[in-house]
Amino acid sequence: MIQVIKQRHSVRTFEKKEIPLDDEKVIQKIVQESMNEPTPFGTPVKLYFLRNKDAHSPESKKVGMYGYVKHVPAYLTGSTLNTKEGLLDFGFVFEKAILELVKRGFGTVWLSGDFDNEDLENFAREGHVVPVMAPVGYPGYKQSLKERFLRMKQEASDRKKHEELFGLQDFDTPLEKSHPYYDVLELVRLAPSALNKQPWRILVDGDHFHLYLKRTEKFPAQVADSEMINMGIAMRHIMIGLAAMNHTGTIQVDDAAMRPEGLEYVASIHVN
C-alpha cells in the first residue's frame, strides 16, 4: 500500500468505458470491507457506489468545490455525522477505499464541496452530510514513464517540505531522516488534501504522534469541514506506515499533548 500512496495521482479524464459487472463487484467488495472496519471514534460511515447516467457527455463537468472531470462512469461517495469525530472517521474510511481502488488499477480523485444531486441528498439523513465525491473509472490516457516521472516531480514540488509539517517534540526541531518514524510521516506528506493546503502538523514525542490542524485562512465555506476530513486521511496514512513496520497504533485524545498557539489539536496515535 505504501507504493500505492507514492504513485497515486489525481485522474480527471476517464476512458469512455462503462464499468463491467465483474469490476463493479470488486468495487462493491472494497466498499463493504471499508465500511466494516471499526472507525477510530466509533462513528458509522456509509459509502455508496453510484453509476453516472451522464458518463459520456461531451462536456467536462465541474463537480464540488473544484475540479473538472470528463467521461466519469461512476462515483464513490458517502455520508457521516457532521461532527469532528464523524468527519475524522469519514476521512479514515474513505481513504482506505480510495487506496484499494487505486491498487486495483482504477483512477480516482477526491472532490469536496456542495453537490447538487438529489440522489446524494437522500443519503444525508438528519445530522449527516455527504462531504465528498470521488469519480471512479479507468484513466483516460496512458503516460510514458518519462511523463509519469515529470508529473510526480511536479506534484512533489507543490508540497510543503517535511520540516514545515512535522517536528520532534516541538516544531522547531525537525526529524532527521534517520529517525524511525521519518518515513511514516513522509506518507502523510504525500496524502491528498482539499485544495492541496496540506493542513496537517504533527509532533513525534517518543512513541506518540500528536496531530494538529493548521487552519487555512478564508477557506471556502462548505457543507462539511474538509480540513478535518484531511486529518482523518493523515491518520490512515500513519496507520499504514506503522503496519509496514509491524506496529499497530491506538488513536485517542491525549489531554497531556501540547496545545501550540495557532494550531488546533485533533488527536494522538500511540504506537503499540
Q: What is the pLDDT of residues 8-50, one digit of tens each?
A: 888 888 998 899 999 999 999 999 999 999 999 999 999 999 8
Does the residue 241 lie in any domain? yes
Reported as a single tens digit per residue, the pLDDT across 102-144 is 999 999 998 876 555 555 555 656 667 888 889 999 998 665 4
By residue range, what is the domain housing residue 120?
2-137
Does the residue 146 lie in any domain? no
Does the residue 14 lie in any domain? yes
Mean predicted confidence (pLDDT) in 67-73: 79
Does the residue 143 lie in any domain? no
Clarify whether residues 70 and 184 are in a common domain: no
Clarify whether residues 132 and 165 are in a common domain: no
Is there a contact between 263 and 209 (Cβ–Cβ < 8 Å)?
no
> Which range, of 39-43, 60-64, 74-78, averages the lowest pLDDT?
60-64
Gyration radius of the chain over CA positions: 18
CB crowding 94-114: b at 16 or more within 10 Å, else e: bbbbbbbbbeeebbbbbbbbb
Which CATH number is 254's domain given? 3.40.109.30
Clarify whether residues 121 and 171 are in a common domain: no
Clarify whether residues 133 and 158 are in a common domain: no
Does the residue 168 lie in any domain? yes
Does the residue 110 lie in any domain? yes
Clarify whether residues 98 and 192 are in a common domain: no
Q: What are the φ and ψ backbone dihedral angles of 49, each rounded to 5 degrees? A: -105, 125
Is there a contact between 111 and 134 (Cβ–Cβ < 8 Å)?
yes
Last residue of one domain, picked from the residues 137, 164, 188: 137
How many domains are there within the chain?
2
| pTM to 2 decimal places | 0.88
Could you tell me the CA-to-CA distances from 205 to 38, 64, 249 in Å, in that order? Answer: 26, 38, 14
